Amino acid sequence: MTAGRATVGVVVPTHDRPELLRETLRSILAQDTDTELDVVVVFDRSTPDPALAELSIPGRRVRVMSNTRTPGLAGSRNSGILALDTDWVAFCDDDDTWAPRRLSAQLERAGRHPEAELITTAICVLFEGAEVPRLAGTDTVTRAELARHRMAMLHSSTLLVRRDALLGRLGMVDEAIPGSQNEDWDLLLRAAAHAPIPHVDEPLVRVLWGRSSHFSRQWETRVASLEWMLERHPDIAGDDHGAARVFGQLAFGSAALGRRRAAVRWARRSIGRRATEPRAFLALAVSAGALSAESVMSFLHRRGRGL
């Protein structure tokens, strides 16, 4: 550590994406801040590549390790957190990249909000060669907004979190979430329960969507993780808009899995909370065979949107 200057650790979970991983690491090491960086690449269910340590430069160390906790993304993040000894922890998925001022903008914002435990930025979605910025339209995010809208631009690769908060009252990434999906939403909701989250509304993280994403088509775990979120955070279902959105997502996921009865049941619940909820009607169309789940997701991704 450098006296009087905050240090940042970066946790990069990875699983069998060596070329994308190196691009990710290059973007992290190219940050325009003079803050010291300790980058930990956590290999999950794969053999660590010690050659990555050769990417280290003065003041910016790259280390490799194996996931020593629950297999999956959540356990990998926590393994990295515990391996660090820095003031802040940033996350980056192994297929995403950072703009050069990602960390400097967040650290500047943190300096103006010393009470903040977590800082976010917006993203730019990359899908099939097209880039679409996703902005929040605000510089502060509340728990009510996260429960109502999810705010997908607050992606895991945008998070900068105080390490002492992760080891203290905020808690680490929850490893009980099915498939480690929505683990970033859960962490955001927990942080926002303590205080509104300062947000840098610039697309400083490029998020790659498409077939390279391990989570792009895993409907079984999507459904299970959403049901987990409803149980863990009852205020999601307490908001008509938020409830309709999640119920509609559950309807769509059920339809994608061929579970027509469950899809219809969730769609009815969704429409009952918000009569114009589009996810419910898309789910009914998929369930009836009028649309395929793949075609709907490709259409949304081309516009920088998820379900």
Question: Using 50, 70 and 90 to split pLDDT, how confident is the model at 304?
Answer: confident
Co-location of 49 and 184 in the same domain? yes
Q: Which of 175, 208, 241 is the last residue of a domain?
A: 208
Q: Is residue 125 part of a domain?
A: yes
| pLDDT reported for residue 156 | 96
Summarize pLDDT for 149-162 with one digit per residue, the tens.
999 999 999 999 99
Domain count, the chain: 2
Shared domain for 183 and 286, answered yes or no, is: no
Tokens of 256: 């994608």
What does pLDDT average to over the chain? 93
Which segments within 93-196 are labelled E, that is strand?
97-98, 118-127, 130-134, 140-141, 160-162
In the predicted model, what is the mean pLDDT of residues 121-147?
94
Write down the pLDDT at residue 4: 54
pLDDT beyond 60 at 117 = yes
Domain membership of residue 287 as a residue range: 219-302
- pTM here is 0.93
Helix (H, G, I), strand (E, B) or coil at 119: strand
The whole-angstrom separation of Cα 78 and Cα 168 is: 13
Q: Which residue has the higher pLDDT, 2 or 229?
A: 229
> Packing angle between helix 260-273 and helix 278-287, nearest 10 degrees?
160
The answer to whether residues 247 and 107 belong to one domain is no
For the purposes of burial, counting CB atoms within 10 Å of the CB of 260, is it exposed (0-12), middle (13-18) or buried (19 or more)? Answer: middle
- pLDDT single digits (tens) 37-88: 999 999 999 999 999 999 999 999 999 999 999 999 999 999 999 999 999 9
Hey, how many other C-beta atoms are within 10 angstroms of the C-beta on 214? 18
Say whether pLDDT at 182 is over 70.
yes
Residue-wise pLDDT for 201-253, tens only, equals: 999 999 988 654 444 458 999 999 999 999 999 999 999 999 999 999 999 99
pLDDT tens figures, 253-299: 999 999 999 999 999 999 999 999 999 999 999 999 999 998 998 88
What is the Cα–Cα distance from 243 to 187, expressed in whole angstroms?
A: 19
Q: What is the CATH number of the domain that holds 199?
A: 3.90.550.10
Q: Region 186-214: what's the mean pLDDT? A: 88
